[in-house]
Amino acid sequence: MKHTGIKEEDNASTVTQFLLLGFSDLPNLQGVLFGMFSIMYVTIIIGNSFIIVVTRIDPTLHKPMYFFLTNFSFLEICYVSVTLPRILYSIWTQDRSISLLACATQMCFFLMLAATDSILLAVMSYDRYVAICNPLHYPLVMNQTKCTQLAVGSWLGGMPFQLGQTCQIFSLHFCNANRIDHFFCDIPPVLKLACGDTSLNELYVYVVTILLAAIPFVLILTSYSKIIATILRLPTAEGRAKAFFTCSSHLVVVLLFYVSASITYLMPKSRHSALSDKLVSFLHGCDPHVQPHDIQP
């Protein structure tokens, strides 16, 4: 374990290297875990790549809904690539060390992609709202320029906040503690290692979560309340079923994302357990949200 001294009178130091304990408490299952994560990673990459290719080469899918679906598929590839390759490397080599810079970089990209996920889910719900509630205005409202602006805003909207949050967390001292009881560098397990008062950091986490998760979630609820009201007024059962089907997969993704994010980032640090953090983060960061059957011509 490497340390860099700060001040002798402070009797504190900060680490330059962390150890990701991950699943080291399951030594007999390392091979099984490696195989499971490998299959998961390959499945997510192939499934989302398939969606991207199909939506690009099929002219009938050149619509706003599939433009955002393509963005979402690419986002999922990036999302899991931040965590799963590192997990596979640690299991294969049994080398669980990660430098301070690598840990901060992983956290920053994970948080930025999570923010993009949240905003993009809200954008997709807005797209469905316009399509179902204002179908005659849909081509005019969701034109190519508007779609591009919404997509760019989704990718860039959370970057300044998450970059600032990461810098704030890694400016803390870690007091000779460098064992992260997690499989990647996420906020709760890293904050547990910090010495001194971290209440300001926790407050910043709450503020950013409200700004980048709660507000988009309210927009999603607003959109779907109007969508459901419109669907229920449709004259035929077949029309209602088709409208509900086009929104069902998106609603499942919204539920999984926001429930796991709320548990991870809104629960006080003192109430986090290592096992719950791992299970929730597994759902939050390694779940293949988009599947090929989501493509409906």
Q: Give the separation between CA 21 and CA 78, rounded to whole angstroms.
A: 23
Mean pLDDT of 193-218: 88
Mean pLDDT of 173-183: 82
pTM of the model: 0.83
User: Mind listing the pLDDT tens digit for each residue in 16-33?
Assistant: 889 998 777 777 888 888
Report the residue count for the chain.
297
Of 242 and 129, more confident: 129
CATH assignment at residue 216: 1.20.1070.10
pLDDT, position 67: 94
Range in 43-57, 71-85, 86-100, 176-190 with the lowest mean pLDDT:
176-190
Two tokens, residue 56: 């690009």
Check: CB of residue 200 under 8 Å from CB of residue 256. no
Of 67 and 237, more confident: 67
For residue 274, pLDDT beyond 80: no
User: Mind listing the pLDDT tens digit for each residue in 111-168?
Assistant: 999 999 999 999 999 999 998 889 899 999 999 999 999 999 999 999 999 999 999 9
Range of the domain at 121: 3-294
pLDDT, position 188: 87
Backbone Cα Rg of the chain = 21
For residue 290, pLDDT beyond 60: no
Q: What is the residue whose two structure tokens read 């629960």?
A: 267
Domain count, the chain: 1
State what percent of residues in the chain have pLDDT above 90.
40
pLDDT, position 195: 84
**Whole-number mean pLDDT of the chain?**
82
Q: Give the separation between CA 12 and CA 249, rounded to whole angstroms.
A: 50
pLDDT, position 292: 41
pLDDT, position 10: 45
Q: Give the separation between CA 288 and CA 79, rounded to whole angstroms.
A: 10
pLDDT, position 2: 45
7-40 per-residue burial string, b: 16 or more CB within 10 A, e: under 16: eeeeeebbbeebbbbbbbeeeeebeebbeebeeb
Confidence band of 288 (pLDDT split at 50, 70, 90): very low
Range in 119-133, 206-220, 259-273 with the lowest mean pLDDT:
259-273
